[in-house]
Copies of this chain bind each other. A is one copy, B any other.
Amino acid sequence: MTRRSTLGARNRGIPEATVARLPVYLRALHTLAERGVVTVSSEELAAAAGVNSAKLRKDLSHLGSYGTRGVGYEVQYLVYQISRELGLTQDWSVAIVGLGNLGRALAGYGGFASRGFRMSALLDADPAIVGDRINGLTVEHIDKLEQVITDCGISIAVLAVPASAAQAVCDRVVASGVTSILNFAPVVLTVPDGVDVRKVDLSIELQILAFHEQRKAGGPGGVEQEYLEAVDGS
């Protein structure tokens, strides 16, 4: 059978690397759309997204054949297809746990709502923080976690609590039915199968930059006998 069946190019099983780039393409497309651009070639879009054009085309080919040869891709249509693939045609309710420095910044950020992510619940353990209103939402006490998550139909949680509390909070949100977690605490979270965790660790990012920075400056080599000096104070 030469004919392509129902799931032809639309093979369930989009490479993870591709999934991670789709939001970048989407952002570039939104910018183009605002500028009134109707059609875009893979070359132009790739440049806007900061990737190789072959890679872009292969990525898009995983969703289907949505381009027109000799012309390019229709911006609006592609926005819709990528959005659909990413699950952005529906709204997602998100809970933020931990409304300290970072949690507040996240709760007050407008860039999420525009992508279909609604911050539906803010939770904290500190009585001094519970009751605060942030961006139109009231901070609830962590004791209401299970109730709030169930009531709001929340499946995504953002953890902005101290590292020492992260695993415990994680366990609770998972027990309440959350299956996707964005973790800011510098710890490795353990979760059951079927639960996705993504971590954002700013300290790690800086350390990676420092590594390359050091390379540019000449590298660590040269001095070999420094350990004893560094450890032994004498």
Contacts and interface: CB of A to CB of B under 8 A. Distances in A.
A137 to B, nearest CB: 15
Nearest to A51: B188
A28 B91 CA distance: 37
A211 B86 contact: yes
B209 A88 contact: no
A152 interface: no
A48 B189 CA distance: 10
Contacts of A182: 202, 205-206, 209
Contact of A220 (B48, B87, B109, B111): B87
Interface residues of A, number: 76
Interface string A1-41: 00000110010100000011011101110000000000000
Nearest to A224: B6
Interface of A: 6-7, 10, 12, 19-20, 22-24, 26-28, 48-50, 76-77, 80-81, 84-90, 92, 94, 101-102, 104-106, 108-109, 111-112, 115-117, 155-156, 179-182, 186, 188, 190, 194, 196, 198, 200-214, 216, 219-221, 224, 226-227, 230-231
11 contacts: A80-B231, A84-B226, A90-B214, A105-B105, A115-B203, A179-B213, A182-B202, A196-B209, A196-B213, A198-B209, A200-B205
